Amino acid sequence: MPEAAGNTREITFGLAIKEAIAEEMRRDPRIVLMGEDVAEAGTAFKVLGGLVDEFGTGRVIDTPISEPGFAGIGVGAAMTGLRPIVDIMFGDFMTLIMDQVVNQAAKTSYMSGGKWRVPLVIRTTMGATRRSAAQHSQSLHAWPSHIPGLKVVVPSTPYDAKGLLKSAIRDDNPVVFFEDKISYTKVKGPVPTGDYTIPLGVADVKREGRDISFIATSSMVQVALGAAAMLEEVGISAEVVDPRTTWPLDEDTLVESVKKTSRAIVMDEGYARYGVGAELAALVSQGAFYHLDAPVTRLCAMHVPIPFSPALEDATVPTERAAFDMARKLVGR
Amino acid sequence: MSAAKKASARPGLAPGLLVRMYRQMMAIRLFEERVNDLYTRALMPGLAHLYNGEEAIAVGVCEALNRDDYITSTHRGHGHCLAKGASPDRMFAELLGKHAGYCKGKGGSMHIADPDTGNLGANAIVGGSVAIAAGAAFTAKYLKTRQVAVCFFGEGALGQGLLYESMNLAQLWKLPVIFVCENNLYNEYTHFSETTAGDIMARPAAFGMKAAQVDGQDVRLVYSTVSPLIARARKGEGPAFLLADTYRYHGHHVGDIARDYYRPKQEEGKWLTGRDPIKLHAAYLLKAKVATKAALGAIDEELANEMDAAMQFGVDAAYPEPHEVEQDVYA
């Protein structure tokens, strides 16, 4: 945490999100937040409780269950002088707003020759293992990452979440911000009390190592750190690098890490096929090719709809054990 | 259309406005004729969707707006852009993919946007801009600017769920947005009666939204019907829905020449001769002695020269430099 000033305290990922929004809303009256049950309910995940008390229902706005409608209102409001934050309760509902995101928000600057801007943040969630089954568990951050004109943030720690969300809100482009649902309460970490931002497009080395690099996003960063601790006990030194944003992407930091360790496992909770994992693996394979001692490998969600039964669901998400085993195989000890 | 719902023209529009309406409609007509000409001479890349026949709607509505009011437009959008104040030379340049165009050649016919005239952009996704217009109205209400947003869309957008989400939100939040449905009878190559259940006017009624239906070939009627709707939206009294009945003279796009399989020639002829918005308005101007035949002829000639020069400007303008391809992806 080199960038920030002020006293730090341990807070949850969810509270870091709320603090970022509250502080930005205090700073800039053009920021409005809208979504389903964001006001009195403080979102379905109870992340934004109390915001409406401070900012009122004119700025923290409950919407009908009309994701394309209010996402589109966010686009139009962003074009005309506001800085809306649109809350899409589950990342699975990105499917509902794809026209407004992909054909409208992402292309507005380009199609208008740079004349219109869309300073919009779409906050949504990702992550399985909540027993929510196939339509409330997906990690679809690969979808917006595929589209020129969008920026995509996948934070893994409270510190990153707060600093990156502030940058997203201050950005003049549409940014899709994915929050891991499990992390809201489960992940805690030090966060300064003072104002700070983290630029979009700067990766962070979460743990330094020599033998293998875990390139991990969002929920998978904690899993990779857990695996790295296990590996240390068997004498393998693992590095954990978090890109923090899938676009813009800090390719150099990822490639440099793999050049140093000569092996890489890309960990991402989205699907491997045609996914963020595929893209990151391709980039480090190309960039660090002459330094590699093993093929770059991916650990991502299984290529199945997320099942309901705990006995099945847990098998679909990469675990510390799986990462540990794969790392040992690649390192050869 | 029931007689009760049919709005009546108010007398007493200023002569200057009446003549201006003629000029604006004729400007759109002459612009579009040249677009068609560029296409048939293979000088224009891609296609264009011509607005001929529908001019009274864009002009009737935009004459009732202020320059800083917002519009969103459609794939058939040249008329809306011109009526809101766009310059024909930069429009031709855009249609021809030139750097001098409104979007530096990156948007083309279906994406003309111009902040200076409040044009949030034409949109090639049917119904794709209804929420954007509502969003602009949201900003106007939030910042208390008294601006109004008009969302133009064709009757094909009546099939899009986003329209009803946006109408619900707009009515719920009393947003100053006017939904203007241009019913030119055809969803691309299919008559709207084959795609549209029930009575269109029952749809805004279901949201409790103020609504009116108007003969879209009568520019004065469009203007006088939409003006009070705009005024009440500006005062914070909420959105409105305007259904304008009209006709698309050309095909779905410039390349849609053989249309017999979806609409009869006699039908086209009937609208062209008996329902043409420019002829009808010209006849009114002459009868009401607002303008003479010579005066209208002079306007026609002046506009023809202006459009020729504008087209030539577009033809002569330079293409973007190759390195521009990566510019403007991000702000």
> Is A106 in the same domain as A175?
yes
In a domain, B33, yes or no: no
Residues of B in contact with A95 (CB under 8 A): none
Q: Domain residues for A285? A: 204-328
In a domain, A35, yes or no: yes
In a domain, A230, yes or no: yes
- With 50 as the cut, is the pLDDT of residue B4 above it? no
Average pLDDT of chain A, as a whole number: 97
Lowest mean pLDDT among A239-248, A294-303, B2-11: B2-11
> Is A87 in the same domain as A116?
yes
Instruction: Provide the pLDDT for residue B12.
Output: 84
- With 70 as the cut, is the pLDDT of residue A76 above it? yes
The DSSP annotation for B62-119 comes to HTTS-TTSEEEE-TT-HHHHHHTT--HHHHHHHHTT-TTSTTTTSS-GGG--BGGGTE
> Is A167 in the same domain as A225?
no
A82 reaches B (C-beta below 8 A) = yes
Distance CA B221, CA B49 (A): 25
- A178, β-bridge pairs: A124
> Is A117 in the same domain as A72?
yes
Instruction: Provide the pLDDT for residue B166.
Output: 98
Q: How many domains does chain A have?
A: 2
> Is A181 in the same domain as A41?
yes
* B22 or B7: which leads in pLDDT: B22
**CA distance, residue A175 to nearest chain B CA (Å):** 11
A199 reaches B (C-beta below 8 A) = no
In a domain, A1, yes or no: no
**Considering A143, A160, A192, which residue would you say is the last residue of a domain?**
A192
3-state secondary structure chain A: CCCCCCCEEEEEHHHHHHHHHHHHHHHCCCEEEEECCCCCCCCCCCCCCCHHHHHCCCCEEECCCCHHHHHHHHHHHHHCCCEEEEEECCHHHHHHHHHHHHHHHHHHHHHCCCCCCCCCEEEEEECCCCCCCCCCCCCCCHHHHCCCCCEEECCCCHHHHHHHHHHHHHCCCCEEEEEECCHHHHCEEEEECCCCCCCCCCCEEEECCCCEEEEECCHHHHHHHHHHHHHHHCCCCEEEEECCEEECCCHHHHHHHHHHHCCEEEEEEEECCCCHHHHHHHHHHHHCHHHCCCCCEEEEECCCCCCCCHHHHHHHCCCHHHHHHHHHHHHCC
Give the pLDDT confidence of A130-160 residue by residue, as tens digits.
999 999 999 999 999 999 999 999 999 999 9
In a domain, A96, yes or no: yes
B115, B138, B329 ranked by CB distance to A115: nearest: B115
> Is A148 in the same domain as A243?
no
> Is A268 in the same domain as A146?
no
In a domain, B281, yes or no: no
A58, A76, A115 ranked by CB distance to B131: nearest: A76
**The domain spanning residue A219 has which CATH number?**
3.40.50.920
Give the pLDDT confidence of B14-44 residue by residue, as tens digits.
999 999 999 999 999 999 999 999 999 999 9
**The domain spanning residue A185 has which CATH number?**
3.40.50.970
In a domain, A99, yes or no: yes
- With 60 as the cut, is the pLDDT of residue A161 above it? yes
Give the pLDDT confidence of B217-228 residue by residue, as tens digits.
999 999 999 999
In a domain, A150, yes or no: yes
Nearest residue of chain B to residue A98 (CA atoms): B128
Are B131 and A72 an interchain contact pair (Cβ–Cβ within 8 Å)?
Answer: yes
In a domain, A4, yes or no: no
How many CB pairs (< 8 A) connect A and B?
A: 146
Nearest residue of chain A to residue B107 (CA atoms): A111
Q: Give the SS3 label for residue B245.
A: strand
> Is A141 in the same domain as A224?
no
List, as ranges, residues 118-177 from A with C-beta within 8 Å of B: 118-119, 148-149, 151, 172-173
- With 60 as the cut, is the pLDDT of residue B8 above it? no
Name the active-site residue from A136, A141, A239, A269.
A136
Q: How many domains does chain B have?
A: 1
Residues of A in contact with B135 (CB under 8 A): 72-80, 84
Q: What is the DSSP letter of B305?
A: H
Give the pLDDT confidence of B125-165 residue by residue, as tens digits.
999 999 999 999 999 999 999 999 999 999 999 999 999 99
A90 reaches B (C-beta below 8 A) = no
Banded pLDDT at A6 (limits 50, 70, 90):
confident
Nearest residue of chain A to residue B118 (CA atoms): A80
B106, B138, B143 ranked by CB distance to A73: nearest: B138
Are A68 and B161 an interchain contact pair (Cβ–Cβ within 8 Å)?
Answer: yes
**Considering A129, A163, A192, which residue would you say is the last residue of a domain?**
A192
Name the active-site residue from A67, A256, A279, A313.
A67
A75, A112, A114 ranked by CB distance to B132: nearest: A75
A75, A99, A109 ranked by CB distance to B331: nearest: A109
Are B330 and A72 an interchain contact pair (Cβ–Cβ within 8 Å)?
Answer: no
**CA distance, residue A84 to nearest chain B CA (Å):** 10
In a domain, B150, yes or no: yes
Q: How many residues does chain B have?
A: 331
Give the pLDDT confidence of B287-327 residue by residue, as tens digits.
999 999 999 999 999 999 999 999 999 999 999 999 999 99
Give the pLDDT confidence of B48-64 residue by residue, as tens digits.
999 999 999 999 999 99
**Residues from B in contact with A at Cβ < 8 Å:** 70, 72, 101-107, 111, 113-115, 120-121, 123, 125, 128-140, 142-143, 149, 161-162, 165-166, 168-169, 172, 327-331
Residues of A in contact with B107 (CB under 8 A): 111-113
Average pLDDT of chain B, as a whole number: 96
- With 70 as the cut, is the pLDDT of residue A18 above it? yes
> Is A82 in the same domain as A184?
yes
Q: Find the mean pLDDT for residues B103-110.
A: 97
Are A113 and B101 an interchain contact pair (Cβ–Cβ within 8 Å)?
Answer: yes
In a domain, B195, yes or no: yes
**Considering A167, A192, A217, which residue would you say is the last residue of a domain?**
A192
A108 reaches B (C-beta below 8 A) = yes
Q: Find the mean pLDDT for residues A18-27.
A: 98
Are B136 and A76 an interchain contact pair (Cβ–Cβ within 8 Å)?
Answer: yes
Q: Find the mean pLDDT for residues A287-304.
A: 98
Residues 6+ apart with CB under 8 A from B181: B153, B154, B155, B157, B158, B200, B241, B242, B243, B244
B120, B131, B328 ranked by CB distance to A110: nearest: B328
Instruction: Provide the pLDDT for residue B7.
Output: 45
Active site residue A232: no
In a domain, B283, yes or no: no
Instruction: Provide the pLDDT for residue A107.
Output: 98
> Is A166 in the same domain as A54?
yes
A76, A116, A173 ranked by CB distance to B113: nearest: A116
Instruction: Provide the pLDDT for residue B5.
Output: 42
Q: Domain residues for B137? A: 45-259
Are A111 and B103 an interchain contact pair (Cβ–Cβ within 8 Å)?
Answer: yes
- With 80 as the cut, is the pLDDT of residue B256 above it? yes
Are A69 and B70 an interchain contact pair (Cβ–Cβ within 8 Å)?
Answer: no
**CA distance, residue B113 to nearest chain A CA (Å):** 6
- With 80 as the cut, is the pLDDT of residue A3 above it? no
A80, A100, A108 ranked by CB distance to B131: nearest: A100
A13 reaches B (C-beta below 8 A) = no
Q: At what angle do helices B277-287 and B55-62 cross, to 10 degrees?
A: 60
Give the pLDDT confidence of A181-240 residue by residue, as tens digits.
999 999 999 999 999 999 999 999 999 999 999 999 999 999 999 999 999 999 999 999
Q: What is the DSSP letter of B327?
A: T
> Is A184 in the same domain as A210?
no
A193 reaches B (C-beta below 8 A) = no
In a domain, B37, yes or no: no
**The domain spanning residue B243 has which CATH number?**
3.40.50.970
Residues of B in contact with A103 (CB under 8 A): 125, 128
Instruction: Provide the pLDDT for residue A4.
Output: 55
A245 reaches B (C-beta below 8 A) = no
> Is A168 in the same domain as A293?
no
Active site residue A136: yes
Are B107 and A104 an interchain contact pair (Cβ–Cβ within 8 Å)?
Answer: no
In a domain, A91, yes or no: yes
Q: Find the mean pLDDT for residues A38-60.
A: 97
Instruction: Provide the pLDDT for residue B11.
Output: 58
